[in-house]
Amino acid sequence: MSGVRSKLPAGVIDASFASLATFVSGLVAVNVLDAADLGIYAVFFSAFIFGQLIAYQLIYVPAEIVSVSRSGLLRLAVLDDSFRLGALPSIAGASLVLLAALTTAPLASTSLTVALTVTAFAATLLSPSQDHVRRTLHIANKSWQAAAMSLTQFLVTLIATGIMLLLDVPVGWIPFGALTAANFLSLTLGLILVARDRHHTKSDARLSFSELVAQGRWLLLQASIPAAAAFVTANVITYLAGPEAMGYAEAARIVAQPIVVLAAGLIYPLRPRAMEAALDRDLAASNRVERIYIAIVVIGGLAYIPVAGGTWFWNPMQHLVPAAYEVSGLVTVTILANIIVASIFLLVNEMMAAGKGKTLALLSAIGGVLRIIVALSAGLIGAFARPLSEGAGELTVAAGLSRTRREIYGVAAAGDSEA
């Protein structure tokens, strides 16, 4: 475990700066858009998250699982095939942004709809490839190169946002526009670093589309269901409680984002070990990484509530994201929901490697239905519908995954895979 612990700082730095880039763009949206327009932005953001999954889960995650099974610089060689095979799925995923344009058109101005559609499409197109390079660098024990990519992403987002504000660019173009520039330059840097580190190393084994999709289709299904449920939920809340309520919920999500940042930082260095434990059916190794992960996420999340949960004088977030505190208690509930959501990130990756794609898809479907049902209460509970729906849906998934994990490590590896 000493090797894992040595990579934790780079993983946390990587996830922190990558999320700070998104935070900066969201911070601009929160402070320059009124509550109603912020609610429209939130719907586009949910489409942005949804659209990234198509290429990532269908092609990139299966390629990363293959990468884990290789050694040395051959782990980076999967990028040759994954980028080629992921091009069309990336375009398909970005096209989902058009759904947000259609559903919000009756509530938004034409200028805002056009700006968010164009920039969100571009950001959604580039984001999964950028993430894939960073995660592959972690798998290849090049975690500090991945951290350099995310640092570049953050700095470019900051600079691009500042330039667009100085040039008085219409605010609808800024949040996703800055992310687009940041993803493009960060991805470019990552590919340069990969080319340098590989030293022209190539693998004799070529990956095929059918090979990756055979596993990726279940990964895509299990990841798309909660993302689709989040998109539906955002629209339900926007129409039942009003775009202002969705705007307040989006502001609270931004404040609660450090929990997800912490979890993502832990995922990068811990995920390869968890996936190896699943492939080897090594219960002791799985227990070690899961205990480290869950303990840090839960303790970190609970410790964050006294910092940002209310409008006390020491809380800087009430000044940075004032809209989040328009509804009393909303931030605290959102933080608690994020603890639940983040606590299963590593276990989901472990179950992917164990070949439990069908089970993940089924659990995600059950959780997604519950999520939408809870969101239907938005007319009564307003902005609280968003975190409560997320927490309820992920609790269902967590219970099912715990049972599946016990089954996996309680039987022999032979014949246990569903993929």
pLDDT in tens, 224-245: 888 888 899 999 999 999 999 9
Q: Distance between CA atoms of 95 and 271, rounded to whole angstroms?
A: 29
Instruction: From 107, 97, 83, 249, select the one nearest 180 (Cα to Cα).
Output: 97
Asked whether the CA dihedral 284, 286, 292, 294 is positive or negative, the reply is negative
Using CA atoms, how far residue 178 sits from 129, 156, 168, 183, 378, in Å, is 17, 7, 14, 9, 32
pLDDT the model gives residue 124: 96
Most confident of 9-13, 190-194, 271-275: 190-194
Predicted model pTM: 0.81
Task: Kindly give the interhelix angle for 357-375 and 345-353, rounded to the nearest 10 degrees.
Answer: 150
| 415 within some domain | no
Q: What is the pLDDT of residues 63-79, one digit of tens each?
A: 888 888 777 667 888 88
pLDDT the model gives residue 8: 59
Q: Distance between CA atoms of 216 and 96, rounded to whole angstroms?
A: 19
Instruction: Tell me the pLDDT band of 418, cut-offs 50, 70 and 90.
Output: very low
Judge whether 227 and 361 are in contact, CB under 8 Å: no
Instruction: Tell me the pLDDT band of 221, cut-offs 50, 70 and 90.
Output: confident
Q: What is the pLDDT of residues 185-212, one digit of tens each?
A: 999 999 999 888 766 666 666 788 888 8
Q: Distance between CA atoms of 8 and 16, rounded to whole angstroms?
A: 12
| 60 within some domain | yes
pLDDT the model gives residue 91: 96
- Provide the 8-state DSSP code for 58: I
pLDDT the model gives residue 210: 86
pLDDT the model gives residue 267: 80
Task: Kindly give the interhelix angle for 243-280 and 385-409, rounded to the nearest 10 degrees.
Answer: 10
Instruction: Tell me the pLDDT band of 3, cut-offs 50, 70 and 90.
Output: very low
Instruction: From 278, 233, 262, 285, select the one nearest 341 (Cα to Cα).
Output: 262
| 414 within some domain | no
| 375 within some domain | yes
To the nearest whole percent, how much of the chain has pLDDT over 70? 93
pLDDT the model gives residue 286: 87
Chain centroid, CA 346 distance in Å: 13
Q: The tokens 């504000």 sit on which residue?
A: 165
pLDDT the model gives residue 415: 40
- Rg, the chain, Cα only: 20
Cα torsion at 379, 369, 391, 53 (round to 10°)?
Answer: -110
Judge whether 373 and 393 are in contact, CB under 8 Å: no
| 419 within some domain | no
Q: Distance between CA atoms of 351 and 317, rounded to whole angstroms?
A: 36
- How many domains is the chain built from? 1
Q: What is the pLDDT of residues 13-53, one digit of tens each?
A: 887 788 788 888 888 888 888 888 999 999 999 999 999 99
Average pLDDT taken over every residue of the chain: 87
| 183 within some domain | yes
Q: The tokens 């259609």 sit on which residue?
A: 102
pLDDT of 7 strictly over 70: no
pLDDT of 322 strictly over 70: yes
| 196 within some domain | yes
| 91 within some domain | yes
Instruction: From 191, 102, 113, select the one nearest 145 (Cα to Cα).
Output: 191
pLDDT the model gives residue 412: 40
pLDDT of 376 strictly over 90: yes
Helix (H, G, I), strand (E, B) or coil at 286: helix
Q: Which domain holds residue 165?
A: 2-409
> What letters, b where the CB count within 10 A reaches 16 and e where it falls short, cover 303-333?
ebbeebbeeeeebebbebbebbbebeebbbb
Residue 208 region by backbone torsions, left for phi larger than 0, else alpha for psi between -120 and 50, else beta: beta
Judge whether 374 and 232 are in contact, CB under 8 Å: no
pLDDT the model gives residue 387: 95
Q: The tokens 């609808």 sit on which residue?
A: 172
